[in-house]
Amino acid sequence: MGARGPVGAAGPAGAARAGAEGRADAKARLYDAFAVGGKALASGKRLELLDLLAQGERTVDSLARAAGLNLTTASAHLQTLKQAGFVTTRREGVRIHYRLAGDDVARLFALLRKVTETHRAAVTPARAAYLGADGAAELRREDLRVRVAAGDVVLLDVRPAEEYRAGHIPGALSIPVGELADRIGELPEGAEIVVYCRGEYCVLAHDAVRLLADRGRRAIRLHDGMLEWRLAELPVETAADPT
């Protein structure tokens, strides 16, 4: 038999180069796939939608109202999150319900906020401007569980009712912050009230504490909120929708 010719036009060296180029292309496709997730997170409104969905499943209409968006814009943002794999949907009649694709998405969202606050100086003043000062003490999750078990505090959830129904800290009362001024009489006189809302960056608990203090009530805040409570895998209760 005669000797074999070179592999391709350039021999083994050409095959090696082709292999290296193929691997580089594959690596580029891999990192481009990762970048789809990064691009999906590169919008304040999409992060706000993730924050809302971390509280539980919601319809497009509900998400649009809560985020202050029109339906078209909300739908476009949700489609971007869906294409990145961060949310999933189910249909109920003509309504589309969105939910997070998994607890890992909630963890990513929470980690993104904390890492950004740690390394970007602009976050701290922006947080202070948004949440405002209320002079309230804060209670850690571990201490809250002890005090609720002892029965020496009233735990108050001031998120919208649909979020409370989707999941709340066991033993919590539900009075949305927008209704608190009219319903403050439902809270026992003289009790210390621990207020919580969506999470560490949620303004609702701050607003509630300010209102309660103005009415002469003793109120403190949970250090974080429902997002962090869920991620810590602590007990969660749900409530039936009103009929």
* Residues 6+ positions from 221 with CB-CB distance below 8 Å: 134, 136, 137, 138, 139, 194, 195, 196, 205, 206, 209
Separation between Cα atoms, residue 236 and residue 234, nearest integer Å: 6
Angle at 130 between CA 158 and CA 196, to 5 degrees: 20
Q: Identify whether 202 is a catalytic site residue.
A: no
* 181 Cβ neighbours under 8 A, 6+ residues apart: 211
Helices (H), 42-140: 44-53, 60-67, 71-83, 103-119, 123-131
Distances 27 to 14, 18, 22, 37, 39 between C-alpha atoms, Å: 20, 14, 9, 16, 18
75 three-state secondary structure: helix
Q: Which of 52, 197, 205, 208 is catalytic?
A: 197
Angle at 194 between CA 191 and CA 197, to 5 degrees: 145
30 CB-side CA count, 13 A: 6
Are 207 and 196 in contact by the 8 Å Cβ rule? The answer is no
Q: Which positions are annotated as active-site residues?
A: 197
